[in-house]
Each structure stands twice: as structure tokens, then as C-alpha cells.
Amino acid sequence: MAQDAVGAFLAMLAAERGAAANTLSAYRRDLTGAGEVIGDLLRADKADLARLASAWADLAPASLARKSSALRQFYGFCVDEGLRDDDPSPALPRPKARRPLPRVLSHQEVAALFTLAETEAAATPEGARMLALLELLYGSGLRATELVSLPLMAVPRDAPFVTITGKGGQQRMVPVGGRAQAALSQWLRARGGGGRFVFPSPRGGHLSRVRLFQLLRDLALRAGLDPEKVSPHVLRHAFATHLLEGGADLRVLQTLLGHADIATTQIYTHVDSARLVALVNARHPLGNVGSR
């Protein structure tokens, strides 16, 4: 009975929320693991769920939060579907895990990367590829997987955007600025024909995430930066943070990043507090009351 309910729950996640295969596998593992501790999930009561706190005592806060979230969503589904009359999930352990702020490169550090990449792009095809990768990571905020697996057909020749297939198979249109368009055009000329990906691998298929990571760290080292500070995700963070600092709307940023939940985007509101105070003083209707 419980396995049927779990199957129905996972089917709902796939159909209604577009959950990716890895996400569904993680939910299945978490629910199966909980069932091994407390028995039939459909018959479990609050006392049963409270026992999970000791069973999960050695887990990292993030893992504990994920497992509890899986069960809360499962029981919410069961109540909605009439499989249970009550929701015992309030008895689940609730870790107080603070989400760490993302590492972000300064404007000066980003400029150092681009200065070197632009110089090398004029000299070799590998340099042209590196500049195109850098432009799309920092200029458009693509995830590493989205970038390396970008198909040629997703890049219109004359349109200032690319079509990205993100997490859960969700598609979004991502603007590509003039600089990135120029870098892409330069790389596509140097790339030549063959393959269906913008960034092909010599062995077939596309450039790997690991290779992208290595290329960025090598560039950082040559640019005089600490390579430990530079990664595809750090450049995505820099894209988001610098856009927000420039006045971008949080909802627009959510769309550009492909976040399903605005709460994920809100992590980027860690901008300079002095700038926010100055913004309130300059733009709020009461900001200049004292000077009247």
C-alpha cells in the first residue's frame, strides 16, 4: 500500500512539477529509507515520525532537511488524495540549517579574467572557445550543464537569445548580450563543422563539466587569481549578484536563472547594505523629508 502511494506521489512530481530523474530517485531513496525505520509510511503516526530524529541524528543538516522535506511533501500529497485523514509531518525533525552565501567574484576579478580571455581569443581557437564559455557563464548566468550541453540549434544566428533546457526539462529564453554574441560568432567560425553541440568534445558528444571546471581554473591562474575561487557556479553567482547590484528586479533574475522558487533567488539579496540604504534615501518618498 505504501509503495503504491510513493509511486503515485513520484508520478505527480514528474507530471505536475517537472521533477528531474535524479530528483525523483532522491525522493524515492529518502521515503524508502524512512519506511525501513518506521514501517508502513501510510500507517505511521506522529510518534513514529518523531523516532526518525534519533535515526537521522548523524546526518548533516542539509541531508536532514532534505529527508524531512520529502516526507512533508509526501504526507501533504496523501492528505490531498484522501489516502490519509491526518498529516503527521509536524513531528518530523526540523534542522536549523543556514544556507551559506554563495562565493562571488568582484568586478575587478571578473575584469581580469576577461582581459586575459580576450587577448587569448585573438590568438587561438582554444582561446576563442574560452572567451565564449566565459561570456555565457558570466554574461547570461548559465549553469555548467546547460552551457556544455548547449546544442547548435538553440543558438539563432541573428537573435539575441538562446533557448536553454534547464532542470526538470524546463525551457527558458536567455538573453545574450552583444559581447557574448560576438564571442559566440568568433568561436563558431573557429569551431568549424561537425557535431551538434556548440562546444563539442574531441571524443564526440560535448565538452564535459569537469573539463569546463579545469579550463576556468587554468584561466584564473594565468590571470593572477586564486583558482580555488573560480568555478562555473561562482561565475553564475557573480552574474546574479552584479545584476541585482545594478538594479535588476528579483523576479526578472528568477526567470533568467531558471529558478522554480523565488526563495532560491533571494539568496542573491546579500548586496552591500550601504548601497541599499543609499537607494532608500534616494528613492523613497520620505527619504528627503528631513532636508525640507
Does residue 55 sit in the same domain as residue 186? no
Question: Which residue in the list 191, 236, 237, 242 is annotated as catalytic?
Answer: 236
Mark whether 67 is an active-site residue: no
Q: Is residue 226 part of a domain?
A: yes
Mark whether 268 is an active-site residue: yes
pTM of the model: 0.58
Does residue 20 sit in the same domain as residue 155? no
Identity of the amino acid at 208: S
Mark whether 196 is an active-site residue: no
Q: Which CATH number fits the domain that encloses residue 31?
A: 1.10.150.130
Mark whether 43 is an active-site residue: no
Of the candidates 155, 44, 151, the one whose C-alpha atom is nearest the C-alpha of residue 90 is 44
Mark whether 259 is an active-site residue: yes
The whole domain housing 134 covers 107-275
- Reply yes or no on whether the pLDDT at 260 is more than 80: no
DSSP state of 206: B
| Bridge partners, 162 (sequence order) | 174
> What is the spatial distance between Cα 67 and Cα 132, in angstroms, rounded to a whole number?
39
Where is pLDDT greater, at 157 or 82? Answer: 82
Q: What is the pLDDT of residues 10-48, one digit of tens each?
A: 999 888 878 788 888 999 999 999 999 999 998 999 999
What's the pLDDT at 108?
A: 93
Q: Is residue 235 part of a domain?
A: yes
Instruction: Give the number of domains in the chain.
Output: 2
What's the pLDDT at 18?
A: 81
> What is the spatial distance between Cα 84 and Cα 62, in angstroms, rounded to a whole number?
28
23 with 13: CB under 8 angstroms?
A: yes
What's the pLDDT at 289?
A: 52
Question: Which residue in the list 28, 94, 167, 229 is annotated as catalytic?
Answer: 167
Average pLDDT for the chain: 83
Question: Which residue in the list 172, 222, 229, 233 is annotated as catalytic?
Answer: 233
Q: What is the pLDDT of residues 160-180, one digit of tens each?
A: 777 787 777 777 778 888 888
Minimum mean pLDDT among 27-36, 149-158, 195-204: which range?
Answer: 149-158
- Reply yes or no on whether the pLDDT at 226 is more than 70: yes
95 with 64: CB under 8 angstroms?
A: yes
DSSP state of 25: H
Mark whether 236 is an active-site residue: yes
Of the candidates 165, 168, 164, the one whose C-alpha atom is nearest the C-alpha of residue 18 is 168
> What is the spatial distance between Cα 104 and Cα 242, in angstroms, rounded to a whole number?
9
